[in-house]
Chain A
């Protein structure tokens, strides 16, 4: 178990980490999230005793790292994949680390096999790609078969197969009862790997909770309701009925309604009572990525600005019209990360959805449109509208890793 109490680190005038207290428990993968420069690596370094905290302390199993008996057998860490002597070949790199803690050379070959680097064991690490470097770093962390593992951005530079492998490795290490602490700035990755989250921004604790709690605390569940196109009356009627029943209704760009505060079956009932036909009734959940971005929005240190190209623009040929500057999303637009209302399809990020609220059958049962009205499923056979969305929803449910 890793325990930090009031951890603070100042570099001159800059405070990298401020009053950070948290616990990392064994048996689960704990994700350590924060934007660039939020103090993740500094915290990792303090856990490993590389940096001395200005105030506060952090212990592993009750000991400060520098006092930990036989540290390499208890703690394994991957801090920086490129932190190896490039002229030394992979096997010797691991061998010198193994000898430090009295680990037999046999173990070196074992971990080389675990990370899939046997082929290049006798190659100088200078020529390694970032992904191979990460694998070498992970091998070093696994050497002592430690109970506590720290990984700083382990999936950086890995290919999809490698990312999947790291994800499963972390989970299996945690399942063996080890303490696994993984930092990342990618919420989507952590959502798949971690069970518990510690989120920091500007060196301060923003959240310390399970992934499940994080989702329910930070994501606004809502329902999308669409009434037949062109029938404003019906829409307003439903809108009034829903508001009356205690829901918050917001119109969306495409004419649909975004409803919060009412479960899906209740919306369906209300629509039925109001005698309003519904073309779409679907559950939505802000993705973890959105929740994370909203949370850390105020704590992002490095934000991009619009590239002004002052004095750099090429001279236009005489008579030519200056080109219209198209705004680039995310550049120079503070608050861009605030979750946008979902567009058609309502899934701005390719994220697995949490268990949708409400009965699973409810969203997949739009009333069939009367013949003659233009409908989005026109090409499909008549029965299709009723059934087509349903399998789609259930499929997504069954694919949900949780």
Chain B
């Protein structure tokens, strides 16, 4: 069957459940809102910074501060898109209509990814411009070197987080289990591993730690990571590819 038919059907599926609007809407509102708040705080705080801190102050990255929380809504989106097929039993109806597992999964991931990308980019640009407006004289311009890359990167980061969640949810199938692992991991564990000096060397290769590098324009003082912004994103892409391959292998092998 034509892949366009499956794509069309997946689009109907994704737009006809309210969780899509809720999760993506929340991702946008939380990311933008928190970025706005942190930007205001950063502006008021700027005068108390010492010279060194002022030199590495990164207005672009500051306006993306909401991502750490907003990404959780993206995770929920990615998990639900896949696992609601399993939790409702719809997967059996879907797979008896699309017996080709590869077509089914590729279409599902493609549609959800495209949607996440659009929402991610919109979120990223709004976060940037609103955040910069709050930062006043300390703001960065979109035309500054590396800034456009960071803003687009913010959208890509959100998209990749959603894709990673889809892969994990495809492996675990249960929405509770998937969320129970992904949420604390990205909210707490990853940032602890990435900031504690003992685990830092490993922690910075975790998907979110590596991927978020793309949103930085100025390198923080204590940063000695062996990869640049695109290198970091590539590491994250690698994680996503592994998760999706794992999900596909299990989908193909397992009974539905």
Contact = CB atoms under 8 A, between A and B. Distances in A.
B54 interface: no
A70 B18 CA distance: 30
B12 to A, nearest CB: 4
Interface string B1-23: 11001101110110011110000
Interface string B64-101: 00000000000000000000110011111101111110
B88 A85 contact: yes
B92 to A, nearest CB: 5
B256 interface: yes
A83 interface: yes
A105 to B, nearest CB: 10
A77 interface: yes
B1 A45 contact: no
B223 interface: no
Interface string A176-219: 00000000000000000000000000000000000000000000
Interface bin, chain B: 20 to 34
Given A85-B17, A102-B5, A97 B95 contact: no
Contacts of A71: 1, 96-99
B206 to A, nearest CB: 32
Given A45-B255, A50-B256, A100 B1 contact: yes
Contacts of B12: 92, 95-96, 99
B17 A100 contact: no
A89 B12 CA distance: 11
Interface residues of A, number: 36
A79 B255 CA distance: 15
A393 interface: no
A88 B13 contact: yes
B10 to A, nearest CB: 8
B255 A101 contact: no
B255 A83 contact: no
B5 A99 contact: yes
Contact of A100 (B6, B84, B88): B6
A86 B88 contact: yes
Contacts of A65: 96, 99
A70 B92 CA distance: 17
Given A85-B84, A92-B16, A101-B1, A79 B93 contact: yes
A46 to B, nearest CB: 9
A82 B91 CA distance: 12
A266 interface: no
Contacts of B88: 82-86
Interface string A75-116: 101011011111111001101111111100000000000000
A67 to B, nearest CB: 8
A82 B13 contact: no
A145 to B, nearest CB: 14
Contacts of A52: 255
Interface of B: 1-2, 5-6, 8-10, 12-13, 16-19, 84-85, 88-93, 95-100, 255-256
Among all A-B residue pairs, the 5 with the closest Cβ atoms: A83-B89, A92-B16, A99-B9, A51-B255, A96-B12
25 contacts: A45-B92, A45-B255, A49-B96, A52-B255, A70-B1, A71-B1, A71-B97, A83-B90, A84-B88, A84-B93, A85-B17, A86-B88, A87-B17, A88-B17, A92-B16, A95-B16, A96-B9, A96-B13, A97-B97, A99-B5, A100-B1, A100-B6, A101-B5, A102-B2, A140-B93
Given A79-B92, A87-B18, 10 more contacts: A70-B1, A71-B96, A71-B99, A83-B89, A84-B89, A87-B19, A88-B13, A92-B13, A93-B16, A96-B13
Interface of A: 45, 48-52, 65-68, 70-72, 75, 77, 79-80, 82-89, 92-93, 95-102, 140
